[in-house]
Amino acid sequence: MKEEIIYHIDQDTLELKNPVMIVGLPGVGHVGKMAADHMVEALGAKKIVDVYSEHFPPQVMVKEDSTVELVGNRLYLAETDKADLLILAGDSQSTDPAGHYKLCEIYLNFASQFKVNRIFTLGGYPTGVMSDENYVIGAANNINMIEELKEKGIQFNPSEPPGGIVGASGLILSFAKLKNIDAACLMGTTTGYIADPKSSKALLGKLCGILDIEVNMDALNEKIKDMDQIVEKIKDSVTGGELDEYYEHTPASDEDLIYFG
C-alpha cells in the first residue's frame, strides 16, 4: 500500500453546483482542523472519499464503540444554497516531506475531478501571545483573490507569515495555481501553544462571510467554554496538576482539544 483512495459515491455521475473545496487538516493550534471538523458536523456533510497513505503515521484511532479506524483523511460533501462544499478533513498530515508533495497532488486531483472553482485552506497563525482578539490573515495564489478577500475582512500583510506556510495549507495553493484554480489560505491568529477553538470560530465566521453561508456555531461554542475553563485552571495553577486532572477526566474523543506542539 502506497496510497489507497476509496470512493463512497459514484464519482462519474456526481454533479456539483458551484463546487468549493475547504481544507482543514491538523496544524498550528488545530485551528484549521477544528473549523473543518465543525463544518462537517454542523452542515451534516457526508463522507464521499477516504484517503489512506503510508505517509501517514502507522496508527489506528479507537472510536467510542472500541472499533478502530485507520489514520487517514476524508473528503466530505456538504450541499448549501450557494455552493456545494467539498470539505477535506482528517487525522494527520504526512510524516515526511516527500509525502506532503504526494498527498497534495491527490488532493488537487479531487479538485480537478470535481471541477472545483476555488479552494480555501484553513490554518492557524502562531503569535506567541495570548490575545482577546482573533484576526484572520490571508495569502493566495492569485492577486485578484486577495483584493476580494480584503473586502471580506481578511488581513493581508506583506510577506506574512515570514517563514512561509508549511504543509498542505501552503502546498495546495501552489499546486492549485498549476491547474488554474484560485486558492487562498486563511489563518486564524492563535498563541501556538494550545488548541484554539476561539480562533477556529473567528476563522469560520470569515469563511462563512466569504461563501455567504451560515453555520450553526453551538458545538464550537461548547468547546470554547471548555477551553476557557482549562485556561483559567492553568492560570490558577503553578504545578499544572489541574491540567493533568483535566486530561484524566476528559473523554478521549476530545483528545485534540489540548495539545502542546
d(CA 142, CA 185): 11
Q: Which is nearer to a second copy, 56 or 120 (CB)?
A: 56
User: What is the number of residues in the chain?
Assistant: 261
- The binder of a second copy chosen from 5, 14, 42, 61 (CB under 8 A): 61
DSSP 64: T
Q: How far is the CB of 13 from a second copy (least distance, A)?
A: 25
Q: How far is the CB of 252 from a second copy (least distance, A)?
A: 3
Q: How far is CA 237 from CA 57, 192, 242, in A?
A: 34, 20, 7
Q: How far is CA 67 from CA 5, 64, 155, 237, in A?
A: 21, 7, 43, 37
> Is 101 within 8 Å of 170 (Cβ atoms)?
no
Is 94 an interacting residue with respect to a second copy (CB under 8 A)?
yes
- The binder of a second copy chosen from 7, 17, 46, 62 (CB under 8 A): 62
Q: How far is the CB of 60 from a second copy (least distance, A)?
A: 4
d(CA 137, CA 154): 6
Task: Map the footprint of a second copy across residues 131-190, applying CB under 8 A.
Answer: 138-143, 146, 156-168, 170-171, 173-175, 185
Q: How far is the CB of 4 from a second copy (least distance, A)?
A: 9
Q: How far is the CB of 111 from a second copy (least distance, A)?
A: 15
Q: Which is nearer to a second copy, 147 or 214 (CB)?
A: 147
- As beta bridge partners, residue 44 has none
d(CA 30, CA 9): 29
Instruction: Find the angle CA(260)-CA(245)-CA(63) to the nearest 5 degrees.
Output: 70
d(CA 93, CA 106): 13
Q: For the window 190-229, what string marks contact with a second copy as x by the rule CB under 8 A?
A: ----------------------------------------
Q: Footprint of a second copy on this chain (CB under 8 A)?
A: 1, 54-71, 94-98, 100-102, 104-105, 138-143, 146, 156-168, 170-171, 173-175, 185, 251-253, 255
